[in-house]
A and B are shown apart, each in its own frame.
Chain A
Amino acid sequence: MDRRSLARQLSAIENGELVVSDVEGLIVAITGPPGIGKSCLVDSILQRLTPQNKVAVLAVDPTSPLSGGALLGDRIRLSVLDDKSKSDSIYVRSVATRSSSGSVPSIVKGLANHLLAESFDIVIIETVGAGQSEMRCAAIANRIVVVEGPARGDGIQAEKAGLLELADLIVVNKSDLDGVDRVVNDLTISLSLTNDAPQIIKTSTLTEEGLDELANVIMNLEERISSKRARCRQQLIMAHENILITNPNFEAILDRMSQEGLELDMALRELSE
């Protein structure tokens, strides 16, 4: 299929005009806090793949809760797009979160399925900058890469429950900065108490440390068995939220809550009728 039609169909899926069924295939979410280097790492991975690897990237940025608009700026970091030898094997699409909550809008599942059906070997989802308990990406991706970095708190942070527990791979980025070894150490100690601890890779897009290894590992990433139940949980929550936000009265009820003082429990009752 030509790119023009592909792009159009993705828009139709995004606007809810086209529904896609699930497709087997590798969907990798790259998640982590804002500014940790997710886009640059995606660029590094794409740089290291050959033109035989067909890769699609769905780069998610937040929608303004005030205006409904969005500034989608992830393409700026993707210098691989200038490489003409890969211009047919790489497809990048910027996605706004729109009315979904969480770091990945639910519609991304449909986009990823469609891209896999269009014979892309792997779909990489770059999430919105996300914090400790932001696990929505687990409902969509079947592999999760969590990106961490230096100077993000003490060893207790590594012990806290949340996103790290769902990671199939942990990347500690910005290894050119001080303090990275301590972070790797803290994470290693914390994960040593779990049965199937994910691998930790230290990377720097400045010195290029670990980037070759990262690109290799990503293409053959195994799913951790222990996170299966957590994935299902996220899928269920996302499906339930979808029923809510696609309710035709959703926006009208929001207006009544903010302008006419409609109470929360009344709003819920109306939405579930």
Chain B
Amino acid sequence: MGARQRIVIAKPGLDGHDRGAKVVARALRDGGHEVIYTGLRRTPDQIVRTVMDEDARFVGLSSLSGAHSHLFPKICELLRQSGLDDVIVFGGGIIPESDRAPLYEAGVKAIFGPGTSSSEILEFVEVASTKDCGVGSQNDWHWGE
């Protein structure tokens, strides 16, 4: 098992489907990480503030409403503006294949759809934590490439 990380799991936007976020939060907890769960309907500002105050290394964004192409890049941008360049961003939910390339471009380092195993997410955290792949880095590596 890798080192313990502090990870924020957040639900941006208006959708109320939090089963996925809770399952991921639980899997990360059982993998030995400290997970800060924000609850539903958070704005990008609130999420970035939480990541900053909690000194989290990772932030996982869950969206099932279709607003990911707007919200995920916005959060990446706000993280960079706030000087949180080393924070690693990953996402999950219902995210069509065709939407993924722009999200990777925006700084998201992994996208986990339905059916992802919890061990894969834990593996991502372990691998990503050893790479310089924060949202402000020039590293264009992403999970599963």
Min Cβ gap B123→A in Å is 15
Are A93 and B33 in contact (CB-based, < 8 A)?
no
With an 8 A cutoff between CB atoms, is B46 at the interface?
A: yes
Min Cβ gap A144→B in Å is 25
Q: Which of A7-15, A127-135, A201-209, A221-229 lines the interface with chain B? A: A7-15
Are A93 and B32 in contact (CB-based, < 8 A)?
no
Within 8 A of B (CB), among A1-20: 3-4, 7-8, 10-11
Chain B interface, DSSP helix/strand/loop, else mixed = mixed
Roughly how many angstroms separate A53 CA and B46 CA in the complex, as a whole number? 21
Answer whether A72 and B55 are a contact pair too, CB < 8 Å, given A67-B29, A81-B49, A82-B46. no
Chain A interface, DSSP helix/strand/loop, else mixed = mixed
The closest CB in chain B to the CB of A12 belongs to B55
| Chain B residue contacts of A157, Cβ below 8 A | none
Q: How large is the interface on A (under 10, 10 to 19, 20 to 34, 35 or more residues)?
A: 20 to 34
Roughly how many angstroms separate A28 CA and B25 CA in the complex, as a whole number? 30
Roughly how many angstroms separate A134 CA and B118 CA in the complex, as a whole number? 35
Q: How large is the interface on B (under 10, 10 to 19, 20 to 34, 35 or more residues)?
A: 20 to 34
Are B35 and A70 in contact (CB-based, < 8 A)?
yes
With an 8 A cutoff between CB atoms, is B78 at the interface?
A: no
Most buried by A among B25, B32, B36, B46: B36
Are B82 and A76 in contact (CB-based, < 8 A)?
no
Min Cβ gap A121→B in Å is 18
With an 8 A cutoff between CB atoms, is B39 at the interface?
A: yes
